Amino acid sequence: MSYQRPKGTNDILPGESEKWQFIEDTARLLFNDYQYYEIRTPSFEHYEVISRSVGDTTDIVSKEMYDFYDKGGRHITLRPEGTAPIVRAYVEHKLFGPEYSSPYKVFYMGPMFRYERPQKGRLRQFHQIGVEAFGSDNPATDVETMVMAMEFFKQLGISQLRLVINTLGDQETRENYRQALIEHFSAHEEQLSEDSQRRLHENPLRILDSKDKADKQFVATAPSILDYLSTAAYDHFTQVTTMLDALEVPYEIEPTMVRGLDYYTHTIFEIMNDNPQLGAQSTICAGGRYDQLVEELGGPATPGFGFAIGMERLLLVLANENVELPALHQLDAYVVNIGETTNVEALKVTQAIRSAGFSADRDVMNRKAKAQFKSADKKDARLVFTLGEDELKAGTINVKSMATGEQKQVALTTIYNDFTQIFDEMI
Ligand code: ATP
Ligand code: MG
C-alpha cells in the first residue's frame, strides 16, 4: 500500500516554499503601504454564508463545494473563496462601527477548496492572496486597488500583463440586461449546452461565463451590458476609466466578461498573463466591486471592493517568464567538527552562535572533514569554524571567512562571550 496526496492537491516542499514566502512577504509590504492589514478567518464556514453570497446557481456553489454535515448536524463547507467569509466576519464583529477606520481594509492569504477537474493551474486545494476594502463607493477605490494588484506583479518582475475591466452595473442595469440576454439566448435555446439551458431561466448572466464551445459562439454575439447601464452605473464606470487614463494605466474593456460569483456590481476586472502555456488558466488575479454583499449577509448597506490572486498560477507565470526570486536562506556559520571527542563542544559552539542571533549549522552525521567542508560550501556559509581534537585541547577554534579567505584561531571563550565581535571582525 502506498499513500499519495489527494488528487488536485500539492505538497509545497522546501526549495519551493521559499518562493511562496518571498511572494507573501512582497504582498505584505506592498499591501501595508496601502493600509491593508491582515485578517485570518476559519478554513470552513456555514454552508449558507457561501451559498448566499457566491450564489446558488454558480458553478462554485452548485458543483464545486467541499461541504458536509459535521457531527453536530451542521451544514459546513470548506471555504471556496475569501470574500464571503470576510464579509461574514465584518458583519459579525460590527467592523463598520465608528471605532473602526473607514474604509476598513484587510488582506488575507491561504488555502481555498473547490472540487474542480484538476489541470495545470487548476487545483482542488489552491491558494489565494486577496484584499477587501469596505465602506467606499468612490471609483478611486476601484482604481487604486486594481493598480495595487498590477504593482504587486510588477514588483515580482512579471512584465506581460493585461488589465481587463468591465462593469456589471447596479440593480437597474442588471434587470434590463437580464431581459436582453434572455431574448438573445432564447432564440438559440436548443443549441445551448444543458447547463446553459438551465442558466437561461435561473441566471442568464452565468451563460456569459460558460466554458462550453457551443455556448461561446452565442456569447460572442450577445448584447453588451454597456448598452444597458443606468445613469449611475454609466457615471461610475466612466469615472473609473477616466482615473485609469489619468494614471496612464493601460487597460482593455471586455463587455461580455462576468465573474463566476454572483455578488459583483459595477467594476469587475481580471489581470491576465498571455503565456500560451497557461491555456485557459491565464487569469492570475480577479475581483471587483460588491456593493450589496454586506447587506445580503445581514450588515448595514456598505459598498465593497476586492480581488484575489491565484498563487499557483502566479508561480507558473513566474516560472514561464524565467523570473528568479532572491534566495531567502543564508547561513552565517558552519561548524566543522572532526573526531568523536568534539561532539559536545561542537554542540555548545553551534548553540552559542544561534543564541547570539546568527544562523548556524554543524555536521551531526559523523562525516569526514572533506564532506563537511563541502556541506558548508553548498549551504553558502559565510564563516566556517573548524574544531579538531588539537583545537579542543588548546581551547581554541579555527575560523575562516569564505568571502576573503582570511582565517585565524580564536579562543572558544570568545565564541561563548562575544560572538558578535568575531563576526564583525571577519565579515
Ligand atoms: P476560472 O474562471 O479560471 O475558474 P474563477 O473565476 O473561478 O477562475 P475566482 O473565483 O475569481 O476564479 O478566483 C480568483 C483567482 O483565483 C483566479 O483568477 C485564479 O487565479 C485563482 N483560482 C481560482 N480557482 C482556482 C483553482 N481551482 N486552482 C487554482 N487557482 C484558482
Ligand atoms: Mg472557476
Rounded CA gap, 305 and 390, in Å? 68
Count of residues making up the chain: 427
Among the listed residues 427, 324, 332, the one whose alpha carbon sits nearest the alpha carbon of residue 379: 332
Q: Which pLDDT belongs to residue 267?
A: 98
Quick one: average pLDDT of 56-73?
96
Whether ligand 1 lies within 6 angstroms of the CB of 178 is answered as no
Q: Measuring from atom 7 of ligand 1, which residue has the nearest CA?
A: 260
Which of 12-26, 195-209, 237-251, 376-390 bottoms out in mean pLDDT, i.e. has the lowest?
A: 195-209
Q: DSSP labels for 376-402?
A: HHHTT-SEEEEE-HHHHHHTEEEEEET
Average pLDDT, the chain: 95
Segment holding 305, helix H or strand E: strand 304-310
Q: Which pLDDT belongs to residue 241?
A: 98
Query: What's the grid cell of residue 329?
Result: 536562506
Q: Which pLDDT belongs to residue 407?
A: 96
Q: Which pLDDT belongs to residue 330?
A: 84
Higher pLDDT, 89 or 159: 89
The angle, 0 to 180 degrees and rounded to 10, between the axes of the packed helices 47-54 and 83-92 is 110
C-alpha 168 – ligand 1 centre gap (Å): 19
Whether ligand 1 lies within 6 angstroms of the CB of 284 is answered as yes
pLDDT per position as a tens digit, 187-217: 999 999 999 999 998 899 999 988 899 999 9
Whether ligand 1 lies within 6 angstroms of the CB of 27 is answered as no
State if pTM tops 0.85.
yes
Whether ligand 1 lies within 6 angstroms of the CB of 122 is answered as yes
- Among all chains, which residue has been given the C-alpha cell 585565524? 408
Q: Which pLDDT belongs to residue 327?
A: 76
Q: Are 167 and 265 in contact (CB under 8 A)?
A: no
Whether ligand 1 lies within 6 angstroms of the CB of 271 is answered as no
Which of 25-29, 62-66, 328-332 bottoms out in mean pLDDT, i.e. has the lowest?
A: 328-332
Q: Which pLDDT belongs to residue 49?
A: 98
Which of 176-185, 271-280, 312-321 bottoms out in mean pLDDT, i.e. has the lowest?
A: 271-280
Q: Measuring from atom 6 of ligand 1, which residue has the nearest CA?
A: 260
Q: Measuring from atom 15 of ligand 1, which residue has the nearest CA?
A: 310
Q: Is the pLDDT of residue 152 over 90?
A: yes
Burial (CB count <10 Å: 0-12, 13-18, 19+), residue 220:
exposed
Whether ligand 1 lies within 6 angstroms of the CB of 307 is answered as no
Class of domain 17-170+230-320: alpha beta
Query: What's the grid cell of residue 169?
Result: 452595473
Question: How many other CB atoms are there within 10 angstroms of residue 242's CB atom?
Answer: 11
Task: Report the alpha-carbon angle 239-245-249, nearest 5.
Answer: 120
Q: Is the pLDDT of residue 1 over 90?
A: no
pLDDT per position as a tens digit, 349-361: 999 999 999 999 9
Round the CA-based radius of gyration of the chain to a whole number and report it: 28
Q: Is the pLDDT of residue 329 over 80?
A: no
Q: Which pLDDT belongs to residue 170?
A: 95
Higher pLDDT, 326 or 177: 177
Quick one: average pLDDT of 122-133?
98
| Index of the ligand 1 atom closest to the CA of residue 81 | 10
CATH superfamily for domain 333-426: Anticodon-binding domain (3.40.50.800)
Query: What's the grid cell of residue 64?
Result: 464545486
The residue ranges of every structural domain in the chain are 17-170+230-320, 333-426
Pocket test for ligand 1, best of 117, 126, 261 (most atoms within 8 A of CB): 126
Spell out the long-range contacts of 197-205 with Cβ–Cβ below 8 A and sequence spacing 24 or more: 199/57, 202/57, 203/55, 203/57, 203/262, 204/178, 205/168, 205/174, 205/177, 205/178, 205/181, 205/258
**Cβ neighbours for 223, distance < 8 A, ≥ 6 positions apart:** 177, 180, 181, 184
C-alpha 152 – ligand 1 centre gap (Å): 18
Burial (CB count <10 Å: 0-12, 13-18, 19+), residue 335:
buried
| Ligand showing the shortest atom-to-Cα distance for residue 50 | 1
Q: Is the pLDDT of residue 292 over 90?
A: yes
Burial (CB count <10 Å: 0-12, 13-18, 19+), residue 343:
middle
Rounded CA gap, 354 and 350, in Å? 6
Percent of the chain with pLDDT over 90: 92
Q: Is the pLDDT of residue 159 over 90?
A: no
Identify the band that residue 298 occupies on the pLDDT scale cut at 50, 70 and 90: very high
Rounded CA gap, 17 and 254, in Å? 36
Ion ligand 2 neighbours, Cβ < 5 Å:
260
Which of 81-85, 156-160, 274-278 bottoms out in mean pLDDT, i.e. has the lowest?
A: 274-278
Q: Which pLDDT belongs to residue 294?
A: 98
